[in-house]
Amino acid sequence: MKRIFLNTLLLFAVCTINAENITKYVNPFIGTGAVQGGLSGNNYPGATVPFGMIQLSPDTREAPDWGQASGYDYNDDRIYGFSHTRLSGTGASDLIDILLLPTTSGNSSSAFSHKEEKAAPGYYQVVLKDDNINAELTATQRTGIHRYQYPAGKEAKLILDLDHSANKGSWNRRVINSQIRIVNDRTIEGYRIITGWAKLRKICFRIELSQPIVSSTVRDGGRQHENTTVINAIDLHGVFNFGKLGDQPLICKLAISPVSIENAQLNMLQEASHWDFDNYVSVADSSWEKELGKIQIKGTELQKEIFYTSLYHTMIQPNIFSDVNGEYMAADYTTRKLSGNEAHYTTFSLWDTYRAAHPLYTMVNTDRVADFVKSMIRQYDYYGYLPVWQLWGQDNYCMIGNHSIPVIVDAVMKGIPGIDIEKAYEAVRNSSLISHPNSPFDVWEKYGYMPENIQTQSVSITLEFAFDDWCVAQLAKKLGKEEDYQRFIKRSEFYRNLFNPATRFFQSKNDKGEWMEPFDPYKYGANGGYPFTEGNAWQYFWYVPHNIPALIDLTGGAKTFEQKLDTFFTSTQQSGHLNDNASGFVGQYAHGNEPSHHVAYLYNYAGKPWKTQKYVHHITSLRNFTTTPHPAMRAMMIVARCLLGMYSVPWDFIL
């Protein structure tokens, strides 16, 4: 029997028929800005559809960076335009592609007010105050649709900026090449190739306009070209003049493709062939209604707003990465084509999402899970190992562990149809043996742990590898591969080699087997140069998810385990600088980042379920879960980890 653990905070059922209008409860502004020194959720309010390639939203910074990872910050008061791709809920910024800005003055930004701004699933509206332009946005999977109402008597202009991106001071980000081509007076095409957190991304686009272009100026750095058909450069800005439109709006459709301009045109032809903006809004709303309506809850209006906004955020990514004709850019930069009705996906933020979001997908998005898994396996085919953190089809190696493995094994063990199980096993097995960045498996098997002087973040990596290996062992056992099962189940116990009986914590060793001193369980690490990843020894102590009974024994029994949990949730001691992701504290519990999220549920294993209920209720009552724009956490985490309480699922898929 498969075991699924559900939090009793809210009563819900997985449904196939919607009982009410669900999208009205979604507030896309939740999580879009920090308050009182906390963390922003790094979410955006713009238009997208479930798991779509397009995320069309305003950028409130000229060069968004880590603190505005999605391009938008609720605390800002200027908009620099509307770009078509972005990340949601991440700790770093990238994408931010193909920016449009309507203007009458030619200014490259405009003031705006939240009093003249609205957002709903698949729809965004704002008044650009400097030129008094009402801008509306909606989307299909691969096409963004804009409607701009210019003031009467003013010249209507549209800026196209191919240089606009996330901060070029991060990740050695730079535009490699770009093109603007005016096909006719209602059509613009082009592309840009940019490198950054994701390497060498190609984004091709096609723009179709409801009004004819009267004149154009394209700027290549410091040079201007008037009414020129095509320009290729690395710093391209186009200004397109439509004259005075009176009361007629300008509707702009912009389709993208990672493969070719021809595919962008095909994407638009299939998804956005007409000019009825309101119809696109309605279709986008219906797509969200279908997805969100899979779960019906009973609760207050406030609870529903929190719940459905959180569920909405879990369904923004991963993103479809194949075009309507089945072509996609593979991890080796070649164009490949899918067969049948398959879809290829990207944006696998796996250190964040394997813990609970992907188990949630196996329950409410089962029609997509096989494609998620096959997309990961395709990277293995072309790259040599499964994704660590895949973005725009390329691995950026961010974070630690090999957490495609639990996602794939979980899907197989739950019987998700459409997955080649032998191929899946080949991918998870070999990705656990072939060394790659942060994953030196020869060191892992030689020492039975990661020595800190050889591999930094050693304690966190040891604990997370042990869980990944346990997942491989379960699939090996299912397939009758006894020798592999014994190898990986042995590796899954390597966490024991870093448990120090003297300190009662997991602690780093060097390659001579010596405990590394000094040791401070309250001191935080970041992403290198310390044994712990974005956390401390207190937060990582609880990370033996595949063998909680053994962790209880190591701790000294159920009573001692309970007492240590009590200390964890009540101790406010700090030591040195906190990691930037540490926020939402309940004692040492830090709700602003992943390593703590499962810990409240561990009271269940100590025979104290009422304490799990107590702390889960307390955590979900934090200011993190208010309906202001300022929850100090990544909102993508909320539903999958706390409101539904599914953190247990990844390691409880067995029998």
Model pLDDT for residues 118-135, shown as the tens digit of each residue: 999 999 999 999 999 999
Q: Which two tokens stand for residue 162?
A: 């191919």
Residue 34: pLDDT band (50, 70, 90) is confident
Tens digits of per-residue pLDDT, 142-174? 999 999 999 999 999 999 999 999 999 999 999
Domains by residue range for the chain, with CATH = 11-292 (2.70.98.10), 317-437 (1.20.1050.60), 440-619 (1.20.1610.10)
Residue 646: pLDDT band (50, 70, 90) is very low
Give CA–CA dist 96/94, Å, rounded: 6
**Closest-CA residue to 533 (of 388, 363, 362, 371):** 388
pLDDT, position 629: 63
Give CA–CA dist 240/219, Å, rounded: 11
**If you average pLDDT over every residue of the chain, what do you get?**
91
Beta-carbon-side half-sphere exposure of residue 333 (alpha carbons within 13 Å): 6
Burial category of 193 from C-beta neighbours within 10 Å (exposed 0-12, middle 13-18, buried 19 and up): middle
pLDDT, position 331: 94
With a CB cutoff of 8 Å and minimum separation 6, the contacts of 321 are 53, 258, 328, 329, 344, 345, 346, 375, 392, 393
Give CA–CA dist 253/347, Å, rounded: 24
Beta-carbon-side half-sphere exposure of residue 297 (alpha carbons within 13 Å): 24
Q: Over pLDDT 70: what percentage of the chain?
A: 91
pLDDT, position 508: 98
Please tell me the least confidently modeled range out of 93-102, 571-580, 591-600: 571-580
Q: What is the mean pLDDT of residues 364-371?
A: 96
Give CA–CA dist 340/557, Å, rounded: 54
**Closest-CA residue to 259 (of 198, 329, 206, 320):** 329
Q: What is the mean pLDDT of residues 585-605?
A: 94
pLDDT, position 576: 79
pLDDT at 4 over 90: no
In angstroms, what CA-CA distances link 549 with 482, 496, 558, 561? Answer: 24, 13, 9, 10
pLDDT, position 37: 63
Tens digits of per-residue pLDDT, 200-224? 999 999 999 999 999 999 999 889 9
Residue 647: pLDDT band (50, 70, 90) is very low
* 3-state per-residue secondary structure call for 443-511: HHHHHCCCCCCCCCCHHHHHHHHHHHHHHHHHHHHHCCCHHHHHHHHHHCCHHHHHEECCCCEECCECC
Give CA–CA dist 312/627, Å, rounded: 14
Give CA–CA dist 316/52, Å, rounded: 7
Q: What is the mean pLDDT of residues 7-33?
A: 70
pLDDT at 618 over 80: yes
Contact in structure between 303 and 621 (CB atoms under 8 Å):
no
Please tell me the least confidently modeled range out of 36-50, 328-342, 396-410, 560-574: 36-50
